[in-house]
């Protein structure tokens, strides 16, 4: 006998878990399941990120990212307080290392103010040293509301709460097929068949594929970009007090290599951004022919690659050259040397790219029939997960109610 649900959420990352929590908070009687293909929650982007609670500085005012990051950051801090999850509002500095970056720094200040980020302050070189004694720059922006947390821990607590609320968390339950039937969907998973009235696709690196399983042809494809980290050797961790970021390149959706304290007392340096040769390709040698072929033959990727080939080549060079990585960090932190860097982990970002080759910047959520698809949820989606969940729960239920 197939299990029958009101809603099946595909994906046990922080966005799927946040969405399930919001759905249950709105309608406690819902019969809900989460189908996760891995053996645990948070096994992909959520468990391989920088652990930053972003403040909402970078995003275009009025965008979903701007709205949901500021609100989501507040909710994330409240969630950590309520459930005794370690976090720290350590603050961050965004450092302009040359005068050519000053206009972009001023634009960040304007955006942050427009987005309601509290306490922003422009710093001169001496004021920067008071906050981060080893950082160097011509000017900086201090963002005191930025924090750090372990999103794997947050996700585990979310999963536990959901189980207590009667949600079925199905692990090793990859969704491999979805068939539309009168009044319901038949969902084939690694743990058997589920029947559901509605489905919410939060499958991260595979969200475009899950949408296609349902006959939806999204205008975007996920292209995986690996981000590699180093750790600062423990005896050099005192070089960094909080978070030190460069001024990002507005043409790219990534923030540039930065230095991040973690709640576990270490300092991470990174991540860079290289094309991953597999959607779940966490090492340089990870390779999956079908994933790579899907990327290479995608017209959007080809257009993007023609535009950014120089940046791409440099990122590859820096991926193989620890010296080049150290040189990037030295712009922010002159005292750092190659010997201070020890190997760290890596994460893979699910970046949606349009068929015209544009890197989708904002969160993208599409509602179609009985399903809603989260087709782009890059950084700061971990920070914003509780607010994204609330947004999806509201829009998905309203769209579904109108259509049925
Ligand atoms: C290197 C890096 C650094 C980052 N730093 C930050 C940061 O500091 N702060 C921040 O806010 N954000 C950061 N992010 C972004 C953040 O991690 C992601 O935006 C967020 O985790 C996305 O969550 P998700 O649930 O959408 O995706 P995921 O965590 O990837 O979860 C998707 C889940 O879906 C499952 N799944 C996929 N296909 C199927 C299927 N067919 N059936 C069933 N299950 C399936 C996967 O197994 C996975 O568990 C970073 C990301 C990366 C990669």
Residue nearest to atom 4 of ligand 1 (CA): 49
pLDDT of residue 316: 86
Q: Candidates 13, 70, 223, 244: which one to mutate for ligand 1, based on the most atoms within 8 Å of Cβ?
A: 13
What SS3 class is residue 88?
strand
Q: pLDDT per position in the chain (404 positions), as tens?
A: 788 999 999 999 999 999 999 999 999 999 999 999 999 999 999 999 999 999 999 999 999 999 999 999 999 999 999 999 999 999 999 999 999 999 999 999 999 999 999 999 999 999 999 999 999 999 999 999 999 999 999 999 999 999 999 999 999 999 999 999 999 999 999 999 999 999 999 999 999 999 999 999 999 999 999 999 999 999 999 999 999 999 998 888 788 899 999 999 999 999 999 999 999 999 999 999 999 999 999 999 999 999 999 998 888 888 889 999 999 999 999 999 999 999 999 999 999 999 999 999 999 999 999 999 999 999 999 999 999 999 999 999 888 888 77
pLDDT of residue 226: 97
Q: Candidates 46, 147, 274, 281: which one to mutate for ligand 1, based on the most atoms within 8 Å of Cβ?
A: 46
Cross-strand bridge partners of residue 198: 7
pLDDT of residue 235: 97
Residue nearest to atom 50 of ligand 1 (CA): 49
Residue nearest to atom 35 of ligand 1 (CA): 11
pLDDT of residue 141: 98
The span from the CA of 281 to the CA of 2, in Å, is 34
Q: Candidates 9, 11, 227, 256: which one to mutate for ligand 1, based on the most atoms within 8 Å of Cβ?
A: 11
49 lines ligand 1 (CB under 6 A): yes
| Residue 352, CB-side half-sphere exposure with 13 Å CA sphere | 24
CA quadruple 62, 65, 66, 72: dihedral, nearest 10: 130
**DSSP letters for 283-340:** STT---HHHHHHHHT-HHHHHHHHHHHHHHHHHHHHHH-HHHHHHHHHHH-TT--GGG
Max distance between CA atoms of the chain, in angstroms, equals: 69
Calculate how far, in angstroms, residue 138's C-alpha sits from the geometric centre of ligand 1: 35
pLDDT of residue 169: 98
User: Which whole-number Å values give the CA distances from 311 to 127, 223, 316, in the listed order?
Assistant: 32, 16, 9
Query: Residues 195, 178: contact at Cβ < 8 Å?
Result: no
Query: Residues 89, 147: contact at Cβ < 8 Å?
Result: yes
258 lines ligand 1 (CB under 6 A): no
Q: Are strands 92-96 and 175-181 parallel, antiparallel or unpaired?
A: unpaired
Burial class (CB in 10 A: 0-12, 13-18, 19+), 182: exposed
203 lines ligand 1 (CB under 6 A): yes
The span from the CA of 71 to the CA of 389, in Å, is 12
The span from the CA of 21 to the CA of 200, in Å, is 13
Q: DSSP assignment, residue 191?
A: T
Q: DSSP assignment, residue 265?
A: S
**Is the bond leading into 121 cis (omega within 30 degrees of zero)?**
no
319, two tokens: 């991926």
188 lines ligand 1 (CB under 6 A): no
The span from the CA of 65 to the CA of 91, in Å, is 20
pLDDT of residue 252: 80
226 lines ligand 1 (CB under 6 A): no
21 lines ligand 1 (CB under 6 A): no
The span from the CA of 310 to the CA of 327, in Å, is 18
Residue in this structure with the two tokens 């293909």, named with its chain if needed:
37
Query: Residues 46, 31: contact at Cβ < 8 Å?
Result: no
Calculate how far, in angstroms, residue 234's C-alpha sits from the geometric centre of ligand 1: 28
C-alpha of 86 from chain center: 20
Calculate how far, in angstroms, residue 100's C-alpha sits from the geometric centre of ligand 1: 34
35 lines ligand 1 (CB under 6 A): yes
Residue nearest to atom 3 of ligand 1 (CA): 49
**DSSP letters for 352-399:** EEETTSPBP-S-EEEEETTEEEEEE--TTHHHHHHHHHHHHHHHHHHH
345, two tokens: 């982990």
377 lines ligand 1 (CB under 6 A): yes
378, two tokens: 């890059």
User: Which whole-number Å values give the CA distances from 289 to 45, 65, 161, 254, in the listed order?
Assistant: 21, 33, 39, 26
pTM recorded for the entire structure = 0.98
Give kind and range of the element (H or E) at residue 108.
Answer: helix 102-114
10 lines ligand 1 (CB under 6 A): yes
200 lines ligand 1 (CB under 6 A): no
């Amino acid at each position: 006998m197939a299990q029958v649900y009101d809603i099946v959420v595909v994906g046990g990352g922080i966005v799927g878990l946040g969405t399930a929590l919001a759905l249950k908070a709105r309608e406690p009687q819902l019969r809900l399941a989460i189908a996760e293909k891995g053996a645990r929650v948070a096994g992909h982007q959520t468990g391989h990120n920088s652990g930053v609670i972003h403040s909402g500085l970078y995003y275009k005012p009025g965008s979903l990212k701007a709205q949901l990051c500021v609100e989501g950051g507040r909710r994330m801090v409240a969630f950590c307080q309520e459930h005794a999850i370690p976090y720290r509002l350590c603050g961050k500095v965004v450092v302009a290392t040359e005068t050519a970056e000053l206009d972009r720094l001023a634009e960040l200040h304007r955006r942050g103010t427009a987005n309601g980020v509290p306490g922003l302050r422009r710093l001169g070189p001496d004021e920067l040293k008071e906050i981060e004694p080893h950082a160097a720059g011509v000017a900086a922006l201090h963002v005191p509301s930025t924090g750090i947390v372990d999103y794997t821990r947050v996700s585990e607590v979310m999963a536990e709460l959901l189980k207590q609320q009667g949600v079925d968390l199905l692990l090793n339950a990859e969704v491999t097929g979805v068939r539309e039937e009168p009044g319901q969907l038949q969902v084939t998973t690694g743990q058997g068949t589920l029947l559901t009235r509605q489905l919410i696709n939060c499958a991260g690196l595979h969200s475009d594929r899950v949408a296609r399983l349902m006959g939806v042809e999204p205008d975007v494809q996920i292209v995986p970009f690996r981000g590699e980290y180093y750790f600062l050797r423990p005896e050099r961790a005192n070089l960094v007090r909080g978070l030190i970021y460069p001024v990002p390149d507005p043409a790219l959706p990534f923030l540039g290599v930065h230095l991040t304290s973690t709640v576990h007392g270490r300092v991470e340096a990174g991540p860079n951004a290289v094309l991953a040769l597999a959607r779940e390709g966490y090492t340089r040698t990870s390779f999956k022919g079908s994933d790579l072929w899907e990327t290479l033959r995608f017209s959007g990727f080809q257009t993007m690659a023609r535009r950014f080939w120089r940046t791409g080549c440099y990122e590859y060079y820096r991926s193989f050259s620890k010296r080049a990585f150290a040189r990037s960090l030295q712009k922010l932190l002159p005292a750092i040397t190659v010997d201070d860097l020890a190997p760290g982990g890596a994460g893979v970002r699910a970046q949606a790219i349009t068929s015209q080759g544009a890197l989708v910047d904002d969160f993208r959520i599409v509602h179609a029939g009985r399903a809603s698809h989260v087709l782009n949820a890059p950084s700061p989606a971990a920070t914003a997960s509780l607010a994204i969940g609330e947004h999806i729960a509201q829009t998905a239920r309203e769209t579904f109610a109108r259509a049925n």
